[in-house]
Amino acid sequence: MSPAPPWVAVALAVGFGTILAGHGGLGAGRDYVPIAAMFVLIVGGRNADGFSIGYLAQMGVGVALGIAVNLLIVPPLRENAAAEAVSAQQRRLAGVLRSMAEALDGDEADWEAPLADAQRRTDEVAEAVRDARDTRRANPRARFSRYDVDQDVDDLRVLGRLSRHIGGLGDVLRGGGDEPSLLTDASPGARARVAEVLRATADLFDAWCRSHTGGGRAGDPGRGRDELLDPIREALDALRPGEGGDPFEPLVAVRYIVRSIAEDVDERMRDA
């Protein structure tokens, strides 16, 4: 038993336990350290030394059982959920581009709600990728999986940037203030050419989605990259900012944004 008075021993044990609990390496259970120290001193009473040895032995058995359960009853990997989340976001962004193209064609297509939904779901995709990465840690199943979660992390980073680019296209279509709107201020011919650009870009998204089976596992995009990029290049070349009275700035912005989108998607397809 400690020679110090009980109130001093409890204070010292809790204080030392609190210091240990500040060590980040102990993980989520670190808050339990000072409680365990106080529990041993109070319950152990005069036989605190013997009680603490028994308590440590019980804790050791519990840790060993936990490790054994994790090895024998292996938790599942969440790779497929991450792959599907990335693919779903690719499809959502392609759908936004097609809705924008339909609006430019004069249809009553709602592209703002799908765009807001895609931007809102970015956090859900990020959470799915984080879960896939976390379930691989210290998981024996990960040794037999060819899934490369870093590829999904890279896809996630690019998807966030693409979402912002498409949001920029929305600003160009919408206009506002002193800025002209493609939907109302451009000629029918210019709107038709921009719609063609957006549809070709949506086709590129579809091919990227088909080529993405998760974790860097290659799929079949259906067409070669050049075959997908050529229609975008040709449609962009057909845009003539400033000609025929069409607003200059929106068409220049479309050319810049779509080129950035095509380069990002092409890079991810090339690295897949």
Residue 21 has pLDDT above 70, yes or no: no
Which residues neighbour 41 within 8 Å (Cβ) at sequence distance 6 or greater? 2, 6, 9, 10, 13, 48
Residue 194 has pLDDT above 70, yes or no: yes
- DSSP string for 99-154: HHHHHHTT-----HHHHHHHHHTHHHHHHHHHHHHHHHTT-GGGGG----HHHHHH
Res 199: pLDDT: 96
Res 89: pLDDT: 95
Average pLDDT in the 199-203 region?
95
Q: What is the pLDDT of residues 240-250, one digit of tens each?
A: 776 667 778 88
The pLDDT confidence band at residue 217, using thresholds 50, 70 and 90, is low
Q: Indicate the pTM of the whole model.
A: 0.71
The pLDDT confidence band at residue 66, using thresholds 50, 70 and 90, is confident
- Complete domains list, the chain, with CATH: 6-72 (no CATH), 79-271 (1.20.120)
Compute the distance between CA of residue 22 and CA of residue 33 in angstroms, rounded to an integer.
10
Q: What is the pLDDT of residues 42-51, one digit of tens each?
A: 655 566 566 6
Q: What is the pLDDT of residues 128-185, one digit of tens each?
A: 999 888 888 767 777 777 778 888 889 999 999 999 999 999 999 988 777 888 888 8
